[in-house]
Chains A and B, each alone.
Chain A
């Protein structure tokens, strides 16, 4: 029976706690008596019979949907959209969940005599997936059957000929999505919910949409009113997507949503990485030796080697649930299943929140974690992993540990480079950035060209990363990055510190000398349910 997550009050006997630090680790001693650590739950038991569970889900849908076989008929147009490279994190070992589901959907389609089938990677304004990445997601069989005929491809949010304007919401938000998906008799969406933010109408209304549509919810105002965007019912981001979903439904776009959840088994229960998901006082002699060996090796490697090792890791996540049918009904069940794995009850807020940022975030798979993504992972994702209220009080301090190199992937993140050099050199205020620079980057022809033909994130994407942290920036009194490139950290508008002790000392200027501390022991992922 996996043990649930819990909050540990740090005392003198508490061993140093693991901090992820990019492609490396640190062991840090937290001050006893005023610190606590939120530990994630152990990986939930996976489904026994994954293939059987998928089959059952397709035949027993939630909400007012018919079973999938009843929705399939000869002569129809079927489109299967699936989540892109940003999910799950890290990428999972083969076979990927998407492959398992898509094969079963196609099997039913073949049985029903459906011929007109296309598959679309719903990547919105993310970079296009490479052939290897698509093969990993959908499997070689599906790739070889569809891609050579042009029937498996990446969504292109800048192709006016392949976008359809659906309508506007009651709040004036324009809904524009992929034309093939909109005009199909059935759109089957295959999702992986690694955090509660994913899925629901966000899959279609964001994943298959264009800048014209996205700008209505990917903006500073929406993000500052999403408290947090991991909690759908308190998230303006989701409210907007749900309004768009209503427009889609009323316009006749028929969506059969398939959502899945995975467990917290990120580093495995065996092998050298398994130590990373054990609680420190339970490390055996072997674990400790493994950790010391791994750290000694990593300390001596070049950044490039470390990156290639970590980016090569394929996580042994396993599916914990799969549900299909009508979007909203499915998503309610999915969210409850995500919470079963992630939610940890936490009482009250503290003055300081500490976190060790790992090597990966949704936007640097097979890529480089540049300073903007460091900000987005810490202030966007990790900070927002709460329900109720943030684990750190308003005006509190966030201390993150990451090397924050001044380094960018020139193919994947070209607009990030200009954003960092040009925009952040001018201001770090998200509202000012949005007003002054967003349109220019979003409509830049060169970025548009790279997004469509190369493997670049869209020109406007770094802005969204910055907006992702807008709520945290508004809430926090100070942000300190430990062990980061000093110039890069300052460019982000944060304070650099050499050690955690220095950072705590610096934080005392803002929150006093006896400030209380909460450490988010993430990854594996946890979500603080703060009361």
Chain B
């Protein structure tokens, strides 16, 4: 070892000793001599930096551009629509075929339907939206917007543009009464866009339906367009509320005959008729068309909302429609080949 090396080593030991004795370490000492980012920004002259607020002045909070105020206009322009068509046909539809293997029924009932319509479906799962969207036939499939909960789908800067782009969602206020959502939706229908709404307002908490709200009926009445009832069966088994990992299962989507409001019908009564239409489709799916029609006329269609019973009996009454037990073991017994 040379004398210079020895000298460097002794110097290092002195510094380490010094760092142990004083209550700040070296990085702190070094940092103290540097400008912080905030301080650096403060040195930038005013027009280049945000203004400071004089004392005693209250700055108004800027209006939120999220939630019901999110502007989805860009998602209905040509490039976004093209991207959506590609995603829907190239990704969503094949994925739904694998995940949900949908059986489509009643498409022939839409033969005479022309122009925009409101599609109203029951709601069990997040899978409902891509599944129904990829099942609605042309010409509506690629000229449709989806009423999505403003607070859920448009709540932050990530989900809002994704919802608008991927599924063509528009925000619908469900937590408070407001005209904006309805006005925006009606304007789009008047422009020729169809709309997919889940009138229950949210996913089923227990496998049974919830009472239909009046949104779909209101829009149909206001815009003079028909409502197509849709019954979705089986998506609760794929990804019911509370689960995060989907499982493959088969589904059935039944399209009903387009309903038009009668002259003496308000949105509440029309909503009830739409709900009855979906209930009849559910009955048709569970039994057959003839039984369902007879029960519908006799006012005996099973309710979407299930029996008014205790929780376990409601689950029990779901029968095959309820969550199926996941098989926990793949062992087959008895395995006769081994004996």
Interface residues of A (CB under 8 A from B): 49-51, 94-95, 99, 103, 106-107, 110-111, 113, 115, 117, 139-142, 144-146
Contact = CB atoms under 8 A, between A and B. Distances in A.
Which of A51, A144, A145 has the most B CB atoms < 10 Å from its CB?
Answer: A145
Interface string B289-308: 11101101110000000000
A94 B112 contact: no
B291 A145 contact: yes
A94 B137 CA distance: 14
A110 B294 contact: yes
Secondary structure at the A interface, as helix, strand, loop or mixed, is: helix
B108 interface: yes
A95 B298 CA distance: 27
Contacts of A144: 288-289
27 contacts: A50-B112, A51-B112, A95-B108, A95-B111, A99-B108, A103-B289, A106-B293, A107-B293, A110-B290, A110-B294, A110-B296, A110-B297, A111-B297, A113-B298, A117-B290, A139-B108, A140-B105, A141-B105, A141-B106, A141-B284, A141-B288, A142-B289, A142-B290, A144-B288, A144-B289, A145-B288, A145-B290
Interface of B: 105-106, 108, 111-112, 257, 284, 288-291, 293-294, 296-298
Which of A99, A103, A117 has the most B CB atoms < 10 Å from its CB?
Answer: A103
Nearest to A110: B293
10 smallest A-B Cβ distances: which pairs? Answer: A145-B290, A141-B289, A145-B288, A110-B293, A95-B108, A111-B297, A110-B294, A145-B289, A110-B297, A144-B288
A99 B257 CA distance: 14
A205 B143 CA distance: 51
A110 B301 CA distance: 13
Which of B105, B294, B296 has the most A CB atoms < 10 Å from its CB?
Answer: B294
Contacts of B257: 51
A140 B290 CA distance: 11
A258 to B, nearest CB: 18
B139 to A, nearest CB: 15
Nearest to B105: A140
Contacts of A146: 290
Nearest to B287: A145
Contacts of A99: 108
Nearest to B107: A94
Contacts of B291: 145
A111 B294 CA distance: 7
Nearest to A95: B108
Contacts of A107: 293
A103 B257 CA distance: 12
Contacts of A51: 112, 257
Contacts of B288: 141, 144-145
B17 to A, nearest CB: 90
B226 to A, nearest CB: 12
Contacts of A103: 289
A196 to B, nearest CB: 27
A139 B293 CA distance: 15
Nearest to B108: A95
Which of A95, A106, A110, A140 has the most B CB atoms < 10 Å from its CB?
Answer: A110
B206 to A, nearest CB: 29
A110 B296 CA distance: 9
A94 B107 CA distance: 10
B183 to A, nearest CB: 31
Contacts of B111: 94-95
A88 B63 CA distance: 63
Given A117-B290, A145-B291, 5 more contacts: A107-B293, A113-B297, A115-B294, A141-B105, A141-B289
A107 to B, nearest CB: 6
Nearest to A49: B112
A51 to B, nearest CB: 6
A95 to B, nearest CB: 4
Contacts of B112: 49-51
Contacts of B284: 141
Given A49-B112, A51-B112, A106 B290 contact: yes
A476 B288 CA distance: 55
A139 B107 CA distance: 11
A349 to B, nearest CB: 44
Contacts of B108: 94-95, 99, 139
Contacts of A139: 108
B296 to A, nearest CB: 7
A140 B298 CA distance: 23
B160 to A, nearest CB: 41
Contacts of A110: 290, 293-294, 296-297
Nearest to B290: A145
Nearest to B109: A95
Nearest to A148: B288
Which of A117, A139, A141, A146 has the most B CB atoms < 10 Å from its CB?
Answer: A141
Nearest to A139: B108
A306 B296 CA distance: 47
A78 B105 CA distance: 27
Nearest to A151: B290
A51 B111 CA distance: 10
A204 B106 CA distance: 31
Contacts of A117: 290
Nearest to A144: B288
Nearest to A114: B294
Nearest to A111: B297
Contacts of B106: 141
A79 to B, nearest CB: 15
A140 B108 CA distance: 10
A146 B287 CA distance: 11
A142 B296 CA distance: 16
Nearest to B111: A95
